[in-house]
Amino acid sequence: MATTTHPAPGTLTQGHKKVIFASSLGTVFEWYDFYLYGSLAAIIAKQFFTALNPTSGFIFALLAFAAGFAVRPFGALLFGRLGDMIGRKYTFLVTIVIMGLSTFLVGVLPTYATIGVAAPIILITLRLLQGLALGGEYGGAATYVAEHAPQGKRGLYTSFIQTTATLGLFLSLLIILGCRYYFGKDAFEAWAWRIPFLLSFVLLMVSVWIRLQLAESPLFQQMKNEGKTSKAPLTESFMTRNSRVVILALLGATAGQAVVWYAGQFYALFFITQTLKIEATSANLMIAGALALGTPFFIVFGWLSDKIGRKPIIMAGCLLAALTYFPIFKALTHYGNPAIEAAAQSSPVVVVADPAECSFQFNPVGTSKFTTSCDIAKSALARSGTPYANEAVASGSVASVRVGSTTIASYEASGLQGDAAKAEADRFSSEVKAALSAAGYPEKADATRINNAMLIVLLTILVIYVTMVYGPIAAWLVELFPTRIRYTSMSLPYHIGNGWFGGFLPTISFALVAATGNIYQGLWYPVIIAVMTLVIGTLFLPETKDVDISK
């Protein structure tokens, strides 16, 4: 195939700037829409999952957040196929319309208190539509920009697209903080949380107008003019030798990139708010500060990948994350809520129970009743965010909670009803709360003891890991696949990696912590996946920075 004529490498023309700006800005808005839900998960749990207990409600809110990620691969298949058959431009114009309208509708959706179970059902449906749209968005934008880029500059050009996810999160946090400050905490949690969702309609109009100004990708247009577009991109992508590259791209690149991305931003936010009990506004400001400091490194590592390659930078990011996540998150505890750290050392909490009576308390539909003494004890501690260990006793024993030298007996709820059940629950809850307070476990982080500067430093390090694995990934994926099936082939491993391996990270990690009592237990998930990607990517995936993508 004849190659498209480009300016000399190093020349950033006005046309290139327009392509990068239009693609990136539209994608920022789309990520803003998608991440609003994640940033407001705790409030959404109270509005749409009020039939569940607090722990199950929050887990289910995270699960609904993950539902959007679950369908992203299907969006990649649907819109990737269209993008390879009819073009990049119109396909990702459709995706942004679907995303914007779905987000706007979340802003006007009645709560559980108003329409009952229909509220969470509609909410999850809208999340699924968001996921489908995002599944078609990223591959289109990344492919579009890469196919405009001159040889030797694809890492730099596509790194601007890579900033959009973080900038979208940053924008969502800023608007949330602004609304929370202007309307006040109570009004924001009651109704003003809807405003950031409603603003997406304005962003939608801007994004559509911007993308209508763009022309089709030159490589795709030339291929179309020559009659060489794929008639069956799904078959060519996944039923031929190309499928091996798709699988390797998933396991050896995007899976590790995804867990590092979500651990470094979303799980970090969940950790400092839910576990360390740092007030939401302060936590969001810290994350926003870390994002502001770290985001330029997307460009740095994208540029560097044009010099030394995509593979070494991404593999180094996975390695650093696997080696340092545990010490970094322990340092977050030390500088964010040292009272938890001190109390856990001086007066450790232990659930003493028969393991056979301890359930994995994940009940998203709210139908199961956890009535054993072990379940009641663990539920109380999980709701309070208290770290605890487990100690087995003989079968048939009633569970108890040991706080330092104080022991509080739990109770069996199956035979209790009415006032008797309430009295026993109140007794146990007050005794546990009193024991935890006496042992120094805080109900919330003491603002005077939070080392804000160190927290921002630690969070920035996590964001820099994100930039290492994410900055060069678009160029690497684009270069792994031929033009005729590029949109489809790169979109699927990207969205399975990010939608499934990454998107389910908060849910899996939070559930692991709730089950074991170890506040760091959830980190094993991203560490194991990052190591898997490090091994597979290093051994089986090629370096691609000098590949000619016009073929």
Q: Quick: pLDDT tens for 150-160.
A: 888 899 988 98
The pLDDT confidence band at residue 62, using thresholds 50, 70 and 90, is low
Question: Do 191 and 211 belong to one domain?
Answer: yes
CB of 17 within 8 A of CB of 155?
no
What is the rounded CA–CA span in Å between residue 547 and residue 256?
23
Residue 547 lies in a domain: no
Residue 223 lies in a domain: yes
In DSSP terms, 276 is beta-bridged to none
Contacts 24+ apart (CB under 8 A), 115-123: 117/51, 119/47, 119/48, 120/48, 120/49, 120/60, 120/64, 123/44, 123/48, 123/64
Q: How much is the mean pLDDT over the chain? A: 83
Encoding tokens for residue 371?
Answer: 């009535």
Report the pLDDT value the prediction gives residue 221, as an integer from 0 to 100.
65
What is the rounded CA–CA span in Å between residue 134 and residue 143?
14
Tell me the one-letter amino acid at 443: E
The more confident residue out of 178 and 229 is 178
Q: Identify the weakest region by mean pLDDT among 130-144, 223-237, 275-289.
A: 223-237
CB of 347 within 8 A of CB of 286?
no
Phi then psi dihedrals of residue 371, to 5 deg: -115, -5
In DSSP terms, 403 is beta-bridged to 349, 406
Q: In this structure, what CATH number is given to the domain that contains residue 92? A: 1.20.1250.20
Q: Quick: pLDDT tens for 321-349.
A: 999 999 999 999 999 999 988 898 889 99
Q: Identify the weakest region by mean pLDDT among 18-32, 67-81, 83-97, 224-238.
A: 224-238
Question: Do 60 and 141 belong to one domain?
Answer: yes
The more confident residue out of 55 and 251 is 251
Residue 550 lies in a domain: no
Contacts 24+ apart (CB under 8 A), 274-277: 274/42, 274/58, 274/385, 274/510, 275/333, 275/340, 275/385, 275/513, 275/519, 276/332, 276/333, 276/336, 276/337, 276/340, 276/385, 276/445, 277/337, 277/340, 277/385, 277/442, 277/443, 277/444, 277/445
Question: Do 317 and 186 belong to one domain?
Answer: yes
Report the pLDDT value the prediction gives residue 139, as an integer from 0 to 100.
74
Percent of the chain with pLDDT over 90: 32
* Closest residue by Cα to residue 276 from 216, 218, 343, 359: 343
Find the helix or strand (DSSP H, E) in which 306 lies.
Answer: helix 296-308
Q: In this structure, what CATH number is given to the domain that contains residue 373? A: 3.40.30
Question: Do 532 and 519 belong to one domain?
Answer: yes
* Closest residue by Cα to residue 470 from 169, 41, 19: 169
Residues in the chain: 551
Q: DSSP secondary structure string, 12-26?
A: --HHHHHHHHHHHHH
What is the rounded CA–CA span in Å between residue 292 and residue 280?
18
Question: Do 357 and 295 belong to one domain?
Answer: no
Query: Of 397, 416, 438, which one is at a domain's C-terminal end?
Result: 438
Residue 57 lies in a domain: yes
Question: Do 416 and 464 belong to one domain?
Answer: no
Q: Identify the weakest region by mean pLDDT among 196-200, 435-439, 515-519.
A: 515-519
Given a cut of 60, whether residue 228 has pLDDT beyond it is no
What is the rounded CA–CA span in Å between residue 519 and residue 522?
7
Given a cut of 80, whether residue 533 has pLDDT beyond it is yes
Half-sphere exposure of 519 (CA within 13 A, CB side): 29
Q: DSSP secondary structure string, 275-288?
A: IS---HHHHHHHHH
Q: Quick: pLDDT tens for 511-522.
A: 787 778 888 998
Q: What strands lie across the sheet with 406-409, from one edge to the other?
A: 389-392, 349-353, 400-403, 406-409
Report the pLDDT value the prediction gives residue 218, as an integer from 0 to 100.
63
Report the pLDDT value the prediction gives residue 35, as an integer from 0 to 100.
72
The more confident residue out of 18 and 276 is 276
Number of domains making up the chain: 2
163-189 burial code (b ≥16 CB/10 A, e <16) = bbbbbbbbbbbbbbbebbeebeeeebb
Question: Do 245 and 110 belong to one domain?
Answer: yes
Q: Identify the weakest region by mean pLDDT among 122-136, 269-283, 432-446.
A: 122-136
The more confident residue out of 336 and 235 is 336
Question: Do 403 and 320 belong to one domain?
Answer: no
The more confident residue out of 317 and 200 is 317
Question: Do 384 and 314 belong to one domain?
Answer: no
Residue 546 lies in a domain: no
Distances (CA, A) of 301 to 160, 208, 313, 325: 11, 30, 7, 21
Question: Do 346 and 316 belong to one domain?
Answer: no
| Domain membership of residue 404 as a residue range | 341-438
Given a cut of 90, whether residue 17 has pLDDT beyond it is no
What is the rounded CA–CA span in Å between residue 210 and residue 154?
22
Query: Of 383, 415, 438, which one is at a domain's C-terminal end?
Result: 438
SS (H, E, C) 409-431: ECCCCCCCCHHHHHHHHHHHHHH
Report the pLDDT value the prediction gives residue 331, as an integer from 0 to 100.
96
Q: What is the mean pLDDT of residues 45-50?
A: 78
Residue 511 lies in a domain: yes
**5 phi-psi bin (left φ>0, alpha ψ -120 to 50, beta other):** beta
Q: What is the mean pLDDT of residues 311-315?
A: 97
Residue 1 lies in a domain: no
Report the pLDDT value the prediction gives residue 364, as an integer from 0 to 100.
43
Report the pLDDT value the prediction gives residue 530, as an integer from 0 to 100.
97
Query: Of 388, 414, 438, which one is at a domain's C-terminal end?
Result: 438
Question: Do 285 and 405 belong to one domain?
Answer: no
The pLDDT confidence band at residue 3, using thresholds 50, 70 and 90, is very low
Question: Do 234 and 93 belong to one domain?
Answer: yes
Given a cut of 90, whether residue 294 has pLDDT beyond it is yes
Report the pLDDT value the prediction gives residue 1, as an integer from 0 to 100.
35
The more confident residue out of 361 and 147 is 147
Half-sphere exposure of 62 (CA within 13 A, CB side): 24
Rounded to a whole number of angstroms, the distance between the first and last alpha carbons of the chain is: 6
Residue 190 lies in a domain: yes
